[in-house]
Homo-oligomer: A and B are copies of this chain.
């Protein structure tokens, strides 16, 4: 294949959106694309990922299988991602052959916690105090500098839902944690926050920008359990969140949906925790409570369409269905709520199996 397919205008209905990754985010993206008359082609290294069940075309291939990626790129009009840990080489290879969004830089920035936090801080946005840790000695020094309220050592790369991170309460602790993680790490000083929120924003190819209403997020065992909208934050915080999300999206020349996870402090400030260059679990409530969901906004942006109306018509509470909670599907189906089950085979502990969203009149 020579040359690179570009997007010069909105892709017409019938065009094919390639999605790298076959989990529930890919599944919900595929369904949003179908609503708009766009086809999807899912590429996954798994044999039967849940997104295959709703896609027009499916490829099983390793993420470094250049021949499979080339065929995939040739079959798609544009390619996007449902997870941020796409190998650099994969993203670069695809980008050389087909239009992709979000931009690979958004992936590389968000894949490394030190690069990510440095990038955000340079934009003048508050982040938790952090230091790069390449040795046990670094870990000790970093703790001395920023660990007064306690700290958490995390691997710079990979790690999610609490994996690859250790809470530390002393310099010795920090050094031991580094030996355990045994990988380039980051020490983050604790932030004394009141609760967590996220900004789920969309940026289109034409620069159009839209922010969904801000949800308040509650975690259990390091996994998102519940998102509630409205979040009960001040108007100034809402504007701050929008400024933060927009500033990050523009600096990355971002196209697609981007989530910014933030701590809300007791004195009504926002401190960015991390960014996710994709649709986000804390935006699932938009399926029921907005006429255009986060999944559709992402597809619209990726396909070069104008963004849709993401305004919220109802208050919403979204709860994840995790691991064996899935066994209660019949009871969940009887609730007056929007039930989503992801079609995954095995309900392993900690695995996101579905979610359920309740609506109430807009407050």
Listed in ascending order, the chain A residues whose CB lies under 8 Å from chain B are 10, 12-14, 27, 30-31, 34-39, 52-56, 288, 291-292, 300, 305-306, 308-309, 311, 313-314, 326, 329-330, 333-345, 354, 357, 359, 361-362
- Which residue of chain B lies nearest to A292 when distances are taken between CB atoms in the complex? B338
Which residues on B sit within 8 Å (CB–CB) of A31? Answer: 31, 34-35, 54
A12–B291 Cα gap in the complex (Å)? 29
- Which residue of chain B lies nearest to A53 when distances are taken between CB atoms in the complex? B56
Q: From the candidates B54, B330, B341, B345, name the one contacting A54 in the complex (CB within 8 A).
A: B54
Query: Assuming A291-B336, A341-B13, is B34 touching A54 (CB within 8 A)?
Result: yes
Cβ contact within 8 Å between B343 and A10:
no
Which residues on B sit within 8 Å (CB–CB) of A345? Answer: 14
- Which residue of chain B lies nearest to A342 when distances are taken between CB atoms in the complex? B37
Which residues on B sit within 8 Å (CB–CB) of A361? Answer: 313, 362
- Which residue of chain B lies nearest to A362 when distances are taken between CB atoms in the complex? B361
Number of copies: 2
Query: Assuming A34-B27, A53-B34, is B12 touching A329 (CB within 8 A)?
Result: yes
- Which residue of chain B lies nearest to A13 when distances are taken between CB atoms in the complex? B341
Cβ contact within 8 Å between A53 and B36:
no
- Which residue of chain B lies nearest to A40 when distances are taken between CB atoms in the complex? B53
Cβ contact within 8 Å between B308 and A333:
yes
A306–B335 Cα gap in the complex (Å)? 10
Which residues on B sit within 8 Å (CB–CB) of A55? Answer: 54
Cβ contact within 8 Å between A343 and B34:
yes
Additional A-B contacts beyond A35-B341, A54-B56, A306-B334 (9; CB < 8 A): A10-B330, A10-B333, A31-B31, A35-B340, A36-B333, A36-B340, A54-B55, A311-B336, A314-B314
Cβ contact within 8 Å between B309 and A37:
no
State how many angstroms separate the Cβ of A289 from the closest Cβ of chain B. 9
- Which residue of chain B lies nearest to A16 when distances are taken between CB atoms in the complex? B53
- Which residue of chain B lies nearest to A311 when distances are taken between CB atoms in the complex? B336
Cβ contact within 8 Å between B333 and A300:
yes
Which residues on B sit within 8 Å (CB–CB) of A54? Answer: 30-31, 34, 54-56
Which residues on B sit within 8 Å (CB–CB) of A291? Answer: 288, 336-338, 357, 359
State how many angstroms separate the Cβ of A113 from the closest Cβ of chain B. 34
Cβ contact within 8 Å between A343 and B13:
yes
A291–B316 Cα gap in the complex (Å)? 11
Which residues on B sit within 8 Å (CB–CB) of A333? Answer: 10, 36, 300, 305-306, 308
A354–B306 Cα gap in the complex (Å)? 18
Which of A13, A36, A337, A361 gathers most chain B CB within 10 Å? Answer: A13
Which residues on B sit within 8 Å (CB–CB) of A340? Answer: 35-37
Which residues on B sit within 8 Å (CB–CB) of A341? Answer: 13, 35-37
Q: Which 5 interchain pairs have the tightest Cβ spacing? A: A37-B341, A309-B336, A53-B56, A37-B343, A291-B338
Which of A53, A306, A308 gathers most chain B CB within 10 Å? Answer: A53
A264–B273 Cα gap in the complex (Å)? 58
Can you spell out 24 A-B residue pairs with CB atoms less than 8 angstroms apart?
Answer: A10-B333, A12-B329, A13-B326, A13-B341, A14-B343, A14-B345, A31-B35, A34-B343, A35-B339, A36-B340, A37-B344, A39-B53, A53-B56, A54-B54, A54-B56, A288-B291, A291-B337, A291-B338, A291-B357, A305-B330, A306-B333, A308-B333, A309-B337, A361-B362
